[in-house]
Amino acid sequence: MAQTNDPLFDLLGFEVDPEETELLNINARRLKQLPEELCKFRRLKSLIADANELDVFPSIMFNFQLLEMLNLRANKIPRIPEGIRELCQLRYVFMDDNGLTELPDTLCDLPNMEWLQVSGNKLTSLPGQIGKLKTLSRLNASRNQIVRLPPSIVELSRLQQLLLQGNKLTSLPARFGEAFSDQVNVGLHDNPLAQPPIEVCEQGILAIRAYQDELQRSDAVVTPRLKVVLIGESLAGKTSLINALVEGKSNLTGIADRTHCVNIVQWFPTRDVVFEVYDFGGHEVYYMSHQYFIT
């Protein structure tokens, strides 16, 4: 295309009236930055600039005070500036596949946000105050590296879709199952979930709710269990040592009470840990049995 004296025409390939334009599509133009001429689009409500080569969030964006939809997918933008709160009309933000490493807390100050899409980035967390986005109906943070969800996520009462698959989540916040309707589309697969187990999560919100309710009722406590193995010659005092540990005082064992094969005793030094103590008989005839207990 031949160059003209009109930079906007050179960019778009057609004539446009900036004062009347509400939607602008400049995707896949290999742009490394947005041209200053775009400042003329004061009435802009939707900007599509995906699949370019932008490596910073364009500062020119803050000229678009009426902006409702921003699509910057498939660029190279590592962070969203805190000034994003100034674009208070934003309702739809699409920032997939950019290499984002974090989201600013000020993103949660946008009062009209309905759809936030940040999949395929390098996020390890979501903003702690994400629950402030009371109008949010769709959140897609899949294909990131998120290890923990903020507790306030359960305050997103209008959610219809919550996609978190392909992260590193090991647990869900308390009340997660209670907070959302069973009509909410929740994606949790491809996470190393243990609480609730992934098998429960894959059954949906109702199963998560039932699991968390039961967990709360039972007040489940996981007590660490450690294994201690005592091996030595016959009559070396192994059983006497265990007796002293368990009873809290010296208690020598007589010859008639020596251990035959193996004796397993539980020792509770505190309420927070259990030791399983394996006391092996010291006679050579018992040596072959050791392999079945020592792992």
pLDDT at 264: 73
Look at residue 5 and tell me whether its pLDDT is greater than 90: no
Q: What is the mean pLDDT of the chain?
A: 85
Task: Give kind and range of the element (H or E) at residue 245.
Answer: helix 238-247
Cβ burial of 285 (10 Å; 0-12, 13-18, 19+) is: exposed
Look at residue 132 and tell me whether its pLDDT is greater than 70: yes
> If DSSP states are collapsed to H, E and C, what string results for 76-99?
CCCECCHHHHHCCCCCEEECCCCC
- Does residue 136 or residue 19 have the better pLDDT? 136
Q: Which residues contact 125 (CB under 8 A, 6 or more apart)?
A: 102, 146, 147, 148, 150
Question: 115-117 and 92-94 as β-strands: parallel, antiparallel, unpaired?
Answer: parallel
Look at residue 159 and tell me whether its pLDDT is greater than 50: yes
Is residue 144 very low, low, confident or very high in pLDDT (cuts 50, 70, 90)? very high
- For the record, the structure tokens of 83 come out as 């000034």
Look at residue 84 and tell me whether its pLDDT is greater than 70: yes
What is the percent of the chain with per-residue pLDDT over 90, rounded to a whole number?
Answer: 61
Question: Which of these ranges, 52-61, 129-138, 222-231, has the smallest mean pLDDT?
Answer: 222-231
Question: 115-117 and 138-140 as β-strands: parallel, antiparallel, unpaired?
Answer: parallel
pLDDT at 76: 97
Look at residue 21 and tell me whether its pLDDT is greater than 60: yes
- Does residue 6 or residue 17 have the better pLDDT? 17
Look at residue 128 and tell me whether its pLDDT is greater than 70: yes
pTM for the full predicted model: 0.72
pLDDT at 2: 47
Check the CA dihedral 273-276-279-285 and report its sign. negative
Tens-place pLDDT, residues 197-246: 999 998 999 999 999 998 887 755 555 667 777 666 776 666 777 777 77
Look at residue 184 and tell me whether its pLDDT is greater than 90: yes
Q: Which amino acid is at 173?
A: P
Look at residue 65 and tell me whether its pLDDT is greater than 70: yes
